[in-house]
């Protein structure tokens, strides 16, 4: 299990605290910033004059080394196009060698 409260915002930077109940040597934290909905009006091509709708759009995906720490915090900038109050942050605890995801958490932002 991993817990990821958004612990603060200083200036333009976001601080995400994490706490894991498992040992983390050989693991990293993948953090995705997501917009739940988006749409684009298409002006050219085969979809000309159509509006395409999208769900769960990943605006940013960043990788953070945990250096074997079960608890800590990471700082990152909000992704371009992210509007506070209408986005989600998803954190995935991933094994460096196997790629296996052993824990995940989501918060509204």
Percent of residues in the chain assigned helix, strand, coil, to nearest 5: 0, 65, 35
Residue with tokens 């706490």: 19
The 10s digit of each residue's pLDDT in 15-55 is 888 888 888 899 999 999 999 888 899 999 999 999 999 99
Q: Where are the domains of the chain?
A: 2-108
38-43-49-52 Cα dihedral, nearest 10 degrees: -20
pLDDT of residue 38: 87
Architecture per CATH, domain 2-108, reads as Sandwich (2.60)
Residue with tokens 């506070």: 84
Look up residue 36 and give its two tokens. Answer: 């739940």
106: how many CB neighbours lie within 10 A of its CB? Answer: 13
Q: What rounded mean pLDDT belongs to the chain?
A: 87
The 10s digit of each residue's pLDDT in 70-91 is 888 888 888 887 777 888 999 9
């Amino acid at each position: 299990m991993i817990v990821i409260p958004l612990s603060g915002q200083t200036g333009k930077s976001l601080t995400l605290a994490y706490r894991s109940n498992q040992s983390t040597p050989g693991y990293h934290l993948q953090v995705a910033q997501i917009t739940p909905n988006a749409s684009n009006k298409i002006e050219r091509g085969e979809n000309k004059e159509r509006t395409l709708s999208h769900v769960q759009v990943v605006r940013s995906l960043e990788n953070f080394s945990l250096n074997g720490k079960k608890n800590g915090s990471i700082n990152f900038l909000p992704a371009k196009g992210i509007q506070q109050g209408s986005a989600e942050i998803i954190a995935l605890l991933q094994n460096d060698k196997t790629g296996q995801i052993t824990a995940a958490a989501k918060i509204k932002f």
